[in-house]
Amino acid sequence: MCGIIAAATDRSVGKLLIKGLYKMEYRGYDSAGIAMHVDDQVAHLRTLGKVKLLEERMKLEKPKGKIGIAHTRWATHGEPSELNAHPHQSNDRVFIVHNGIIENYLSLKEELTKEGYAFSSKTDSELIAHLLDRNLKTYNSLLEAVQGLKDRLDGAYAIAALDQNEPDNLVLVRNRSPLVIGLGKNENFAASDPLALAELTNKFLIMEDGDVAKVAPDSVEVFDAKNQLVNREQLTIDIKAEAASKGDFKHYMEKEIFEQPQAVLNTLDGRIGGEDVLENIFGEGSSELLAKVKRVQVVACGTSLHAGRVAANWFSAIAGLPTQMDYASEYRYKNPYIDEDTLLVTISQSGETADTLAALRYANDKDYLGSLAICNVPTSSLARESDFLLLTNAGPEIGVASTKAFTTQLTALMLLTLSLAKATGKNPRLRGRIIKALRFLPEKISEALALKPEILEIAPEIANKNNALFLGRGIFYPIAKEGALKLKEISYIHAEAYPAGELKHGPLALIDGEMPVIAIAPEHELAEKLVSNLEEVKARGGALYVFGNAEERLGLTSGKYINMPDCDFLLTPILYSIPLQILSYEVALLRGTDIDQPRNLAKSVTVE
């Protein structure tokens, strides 16, 4: 989960590479580096820390080259340091950047060490440079040397390589890690994410697993897994410049929170009709498939799994279907129950999360009814490898803590619920009611965003605590989990979520004046029981913060109450996510953390 960018141009390439790295810092930001052909040498710069420090080094050293590779890192093997930063090199001849994990690195390292190669880093990536150097002694070109890598490397990798003796081109290889080629006029590029190239081109070739490409300013040649020259389909992807900028907001996260009314509108656009969801919104033939579904298996990670947990309630309540939920990192190892009536649903913002992808690939070999992905990135592996797909259309999400991706996933999952129910004729009136409520959802989200001044009042009280507890019941328990995750990710406050009824089975022991308790309490059949749980907190001196829509009926006598807009009960999980996102953001702002790039985290986790 690092970001790679490479460019072969007929102009100075340094600034362009740095700009691309900035756009991929969400993928990792503990160190960065660059290598480029300069005259008959390769200039090589690496820095510990964020891309800004690399940019400053570049300004001092002013290397000028037209062909180069660059990298921003999220450490897996070896701590963040200049020596562990990419590009790695061998014999001052070969330079590589790598995203992924080389699983057989220990045996390869041993083999290369015996041959006299010295390792200066603790990474699993440096050996790639040495392997290439060794290959170049027997192969005729960098292209062939890279093709010769594929039989030796086990694991996931996207690599860009330079050979000092080939100053006119660079070579790429991809296997289970994202890499796209961008096509320009007298210049061509490559990156882990098309976003990094958005200002340079809108024409892309998506590399497939096993592809190797030779990239020069005026040519791109792609060779497939069998080393045959191939034509990969050219895609036009327009990414609006403003989509990848902060605009007037302090952070991407804040911007993305406030984009949610529009993002949800985009998810709904073209997918709902007068009183029902439209046919085949997941792709041709999807309605026919959905009619056969008897069970659902959901697999995802992090925030995306929280969206799945909410949806499991909807599948059961609206479509009458049981759901099995699994962390993608656990799913393959638990001998999952698989049958021909079960639909596999994967949920992922990036579509490149290694565990989720591995789960899909595992499932694709089994006898599931089919696979369906809810995903935000059309060019991603998940989007391309699933039988059916619904894009969330949230636009690029750059803040590491997921916000608009989550609410659009929930919206998309409600569309899936309605489609499943429609396919078997269940609950037509309820479906009509939800469709109507969905049309008002963007407006309701705007109303929830307008609660920011009230949230600003409580944020300082939570910002000076070390722990927090989030409570919800039923369909709101996953929202409590998501609220706790948001708070810990960006403010580093330890936060946990419980179904409120579980409080007295342990966590109540933690309650004292130092433990803020944040409760999600819209009016529903469990609201009264929730009030009893909150009374238990109050009686122990815990500080209560309640988000609800029926203050009087709840009859709470103390604590802070934030009155939420009314909305159809089944959509309230989407609405109640909003104030929790704002709360985390404001708390983190007060604590002065690095909100868009919290320590130790990365947005796209492309390693298992």
Beta-strand relationship, 155-163 and 170-175: antiparallel
Catalytic entry in 2, 301, 375, 567: 2
Under the criterion CB under 6 A, does residue 543 sit at the interface with ligand G6P? no
| C-alpha to C-alpha distance for 454 and 518, rounded to whole angstroms | 14
Q: How far is the CB of 400 from ligand G6P (least distance, A)?
A: 5
Under the criterion CB under 6 A, does residue 356 sit at the interface with ligand G6P? yes
Q: Which is nearer to ligand G6P, 289 or 301 (CB)?
A: 301
Direct distance between the N- and C-terminal alpha carbons of the chain, in angstroms, rounded to an integer:
10
Which whole-number Å values give the CA distances from 402 to 253, 397, 443, 490, 537, in the listed order?
Answer: 8, 7, 21, 11, 30
CA torsion, ordered 33, 38, 40, 42, to nearest 10 deg: 0
Under the criterion CB under 6 A, does residue 491 sit at the interface with ligand G6P? no
Under the criterion CB under 6 A, does residue 603 sit at the interface with ligand G6P? yes
Q: How far is the CB of 490 from ligand G6P (least distance, A)?
A: 10
Residue nearest to ligand G6P (CB): 302
Interface stretch with ligand G6P, choices 237-245, 344-352, 458-466, 511-519 (CB under 6 A):
344-352
Which whole-number Å values give the CA distances from 345 to 363, 487, 593, in the listed order?
Answer: 10, 27, 35
Q: How far is the CB of 257 from ligand G6P (least distance, A)?
A: 14
Q: Is 250 a catalytic residue?
A: no
The correct pick among 75, 582, 583, 605 for binding ligand G6P (CB under 6 A) is: 605
Under the criterion CB under 6 A, does residue 47 sit at the interface with ligand G6P? no
The correct pick among 149, 181, 207, 301 for binding ligand G6P (CB under 6 A) is: 301
Q: How far is the CB of 126 from ligand G6P (least distance, A)?
A: 26
| C-alpha to C-alpha distance for 178 and 190, rounded to whole angstroms | 10
**Strand pairing partners for 182?**
189, 204
**Strand pairing partners for 565?**
none
Q: CB–CB of 53/80 below 8 Å?
A: no
**Strand (E) or helix (H) holding 496:** strand 494-499
Under the criterion CB under 6 A, does residue 601 sit at the interface with ligand G6P? yes
Residue whose entry in the numeric block shows the structure tokens 């988000």: 547
Binding mask 391-410 for ligand G6P (x = CB under 6 A): ---------xxx--------
Interface stretch with ligand G6P, choices 53-61, 70-78, 575-583, 598-606 (CB under 6 A):
598-606
Q: Count residues contacting ligand G6P (CB under 6 A)?
A: 16
Q: How far is the CB of 288 from ligand G6P (least distance, A)?
A: 28
Q: How far is the CB of 348 from ligand G6P (least distance, A)?
A: 3
Q: Which is nearer to ligand G6P, 302 or 507 (CB)?
A: 302
Q: Which is nearer to ligand G6P, 511 or 605 (CB)?
A: 605
Q: Which two tokens stand for residue 114?
A: 């015996």
How many other CB atoms are found less than 10 A from the CB of residue 55?
A: 18
Dihedral sign for Cα atoms in the order 150, 154, 157, 161: negative
Q: Is 452 a catalytic residue?
A: no
Under the criterion CB under 6 A, does residue 121 sit at the interface with ligand G6P? no
Q: Which residues contact 264 (CB under 8 A, 6 or more apart)?
A: 407, 408, 411, 441, 442, 445, 574
State the residues that interact with ligand G6P by CB under 6 A. Answer: 301-304, 348-350, 353, 356, 400-402, 601, 603-605
By annotation, the residues acting in catalysis are: 2, 603
